[in-house]
Amino acid sequence: MDSQTYVNFFRRTSPYIHAHRGKTFVIALSGDAVLDANCQRLLADIALLQSLGVHIVLVHGARPQIDRRLAQSSLSSELHDHLRITGIAAMHCVKEAIGSTRLQLESELSMGLPNSPMHGAEMRVMGGNFVTAKPLGVIDGVDHLHSGEVRRIDRTGIQRQLECGAIVLLSPIGFSPTGEAFNLSYLDVATHTATAIEADKLICISSTPGICVDGALQRSLSLPAVEALLKHLPLDSQAQLERKLLSASLHACKGGVGRAHLIGFGDDGALLSELFTREGSGTLIVQDYSETLRPASIDDVGGIIDLIQPLEEAGVLVRRSRDLLETEISRFMVALHPEGFLIGCAALYPIGSSGSGEIACVATHADFLSQGTASRLLSAIEAHARNQSMDRLYVLTTQAAHWFQEQGFTATTVESLPDDKKLLYNYQRSARVLCKKI
Ligand SMILES: CC(C)(COP(=O)(O)OP(=O)(O)OC[C@H]1O[C@@H](n2cnc3c(N)ncnc32)[C@H](O)[C@@H]1OP(=O)(O)O)[C@@H](O)C(=O)NCCC(=O)NCCS
């Protein structure tokens, strides 16, 4: 990668870095992810997130590790309706398998060799008796013995560790108030933890790269779409994993977690591309897929520059310096993606005391065109203009005259502009003038 490409890439990631800083992510790492060759790189990426100011709770699974231990002890693994039945002998294997998986993760998170991605990361990993469990009990006449479910999460204990800058590492094991240990599902632990600590995201990393429908990876799903999928998923074993991941996401989002992400460990860098690129890498599940429109603040200047710079360079929009944008930021309205980054903007400038205003700098990010973003921004700007007692809006545009006509503007002449604006008209640019009574 040449240095300019690198610089451009770095600049493009800045809105995401701002959006994620100070947020809390619960990352559920399946047991097979821990065994995968990509695990070390994945942990380095998690360390990178933490160094960018993200609070992280890492919950690991251990299903293949437990299966292996059981096989070594010549114990069979009994399942009932996809749930493991954990007898006393099996529970010994569970404790050993979970203990050694946990140690593997702790040691890998402690590696800081020069020339490794974790060099200089200095991470503190904390654990503890944060998960209180209860037995699953007898289901359909079958006693699940030491298989349990989450009863309570020590929210304050976890938050205290996060505030101290530690990564909290949770294992799929919990203890009852009587001191008995129970084998838990790591997704159950992750989901309960995410809702208990009001995490911003639940990120499930497993063998599936996301949810596919008719062979096509679904980049994002709303909660109603997740509910519909859960009703129609086939009963094969791959669908079983998808069902668990979708149920966990649904449970988390209904419990107040902003977003759930389903990504695969097989793709090196999938976590970073999911969190730091518009395209993502897996499936994003959101409570409410609608974008947000709001007045811009000084923190939006960087995002607006990223959005309009290519259009300025192409001569579509008039150039604005960062200083000018900072001074005029109160004139702008922005549209935000559910993930919190900026995808559109528009500005309204009153024209002297003419009772009219000029709409300017209407732009939508190229990845989000034709989804009604600019139309919604325009409606919001028009409402704002009416509140300020304006009765006409003008726009000067070189490329989007037809778009404005479809929004109710009609072509007019430079001469019909209010005097204050007419004096500033740039004849070289030859922009078309349109007007709308509001
Ligand atoms: C014009 C612009 C803001 C529209 O953004 P958007 O969010 O895609 O707009 P909407 O989704 O509300 O409307 C999209 C519709 O308008 C059409 N459209 C987009 N740009 C158009 C243009 N310049 N002329 C005519 N129609 C246009 C699209 O084809 C689409 O119609 P379709 O769904 O039938 O295909 C966007 O194309 C843009 O950023 N352009 C560059 C900046 C610019 O010229 N701004 C205006 C000067 S202030």
CB 58 within 8 A of CB 50: no
110-136 tens-digit pLDDT: 876 566 666 776 788 999 899 999 998
CB 188 within 8 A of CB 83: no
The rounded Å distance from CA 429 to ligand 1 centre is: 20
Half-sphere exposure of 37 (CA within 13 A, CB side): 3
What is the CATH T-level fold of the domain 292-437, as seen in this structure?
A: Aminopeptidase (3.40.630)
328-340 tens-digit pLDDT: 999 999 999 877 8
Q: What's the mean pLDDT in 163-183?
A: 93
SS3 87: coil
184-208 tens-digit pLDDT: 999 999 999 999 999 999 999 999 9
Domain positions in the chain are 3-286, 292-437
**Ligand 1 pocket test target in 370, 434, 435 with most atoms within 8 Å of CB:** 370
Residues 6+ apart with CB under 8 A from 329: 296, 297, 298, 300, 301
Cα gap 14→24, rounded to integer Å: 18
* pLDDT given for residue 234 in this prediction: 79
349-364 tens-digit pLDDT: 999 888 999 999 999 9
**Ligand 1 pocket test target in 306, 332, 369, 397 with most atoms within 8 Å of CB:** 369
pTM: 0.70
Residues 6+ apart with CB under 8 A from 390: 350, 355, 356, 357, 438
387-408 tens-digit pLDDT: 999 999 999 999 999 999 999 9
Q: Whose CA is nearest to atom 26 of ligand 1?
A: 403
The rounded Å distance from CA 369 to ligand 1 centre is: 7
Q: Tell the CATH superfamily of the 3-286 domain.
A: Acetylglutamate kinase-like (3.40.1160.10)
Q: Whose CA is nearest to atom 33 of ligand 1?
A: 370
- Ligand 1 pocket (Cβ < 6 Å) reads 311, 316-317, 360-364, 369-375, 395, 397, 399-400, 402-403
Pairing mode of beta strands 332-336, 167-170:
unpaired
Looking at the chain, the whole-number percentage of residues with pLDDT higher than 90 is 68
- Helices 39-51 and 88-110 meet at what angle, rounded to 10? 60
